A and B are shown apart, each in its own frame.
Chain A
Amino acid sequence: SAVISQKPSRDICQRGTSLTIQCQVDSQVTMMFWYRQQPGQSLTLIATANQGSEATYESGFVIDKFPISRPNLTFSTLTVSNMSPEDSSIYLCSVMTGGGGYTFGSGTRLTVV
């Protein structure tokens, strides 16, 4: 199955700033998914990123706050913009693997102070 390298693994950021999270996959994949896991909560899908097209955002998430890039079939970035303490979460990327399963990156633990 695919292996995802996600970075940074953690960061502490000042409110009002932005953080860009990167995910690199060791094989070409059509769709990449970005999730948020707030403290003590489950995973919520932010958006689906297809190469060559605009990302599709879930209800409650907007492009201005979470811009996504997908320049090729192995790489994607998620930016958390104009951060506030409420953005403190774990952010994970995911891809579909052969056989219909999903692989996840190790996550980015973000703390906004």
Chain B
Amino acid sequence: AQSVTQPDIHITVSEGASLELRCNYSYGATPYLFWYVQSPGQGLQLLLKYFSGDTLVQGIKGFEAEFKRSQSSFNLRKPSVHWSDAAEYFCATSNPQGAQKLVFGQGTRLTINP
């Protein structure tokens, strides 16, 4: 079964600094990969997704992610964070051929220092 690991439970960066959130997946083939953001008291919002093709994916709010098959990774990046980016970030995966359920990583809480 597919699984996702987010190694960093909590990350703190300064406003204006660059950001990289790590995500590693476990699956025999190329899975579908997603990044979601959950702001305090809010629902889940899709930032970006990867199915196939170009390994660098652009998303909303200035985020991007790169799929690296050799490293089984799908890390999320942003060149310059804003205070409003403080939230919980979830990497998720689904099986293109299987039950199509979405499996989430443990999440990374992002704190922004002014």
Are A and B a genuine interacting pair, yes or no?
A: yes
A contacts, CB < 8 Å to B: 31, 33, 41-45, 48, 56, 92, 94, 96, 100-107
Whether A92 pairs with B105 at a CB distance below 8 angstroms is: no
Contact with A along B89-114 (1 / 0, CB 8 A): 01000100001111111110000000
Number of interface residues of B (CB under 8 A): 19
Contact (Cβ within 8 A) A45 B43: no
Q: Which B residues are in CB contact (< 8 Å) with A94?
A: 102
8 Å CB interface, B59-114 against A: 90, 94, 99-107
Decide yes or no whether B27 CB sits under 8 A from chain A: no
Residue of B nearest to A96 (CB): B100
Look across to chain B and name the residue whose beta carbon is closest to the beta carbon of A44.
B104
Whole-angstrom distance between the Cβ of A29 and the nearest chain B Cβ: 12
Closest Cβ–Cβ distance, residue B7 to chain A (whole Å): 14
Closest-by-CB residue of A relative to B9 is A40
B17 within 8 A of A: no
Bound: A48/B102 CA distance, A: 10
Best-buried of B51, B99, B101 by chain A (most CB within 10 Å): B101
Given A42-B105, A43-B90, A104 contacting B99 (CB threshold 8 A): no
Interface centre among B44, B49, B106 (most CB of A within 10 A): B44
| Contact of A42 (CB < 8 Å), options: B94, B100, B101, B106 | B106
User: Please, could you name 5 A-B residue pairs with CB atoms under 8 Å apart, sorted by A?
Assistant: A44-B104, A48-B99, A100-B51, A102-B102, A106-B42
B101 contacts which chain A residues (CB < 8 A)?
A: 33, 45, 48
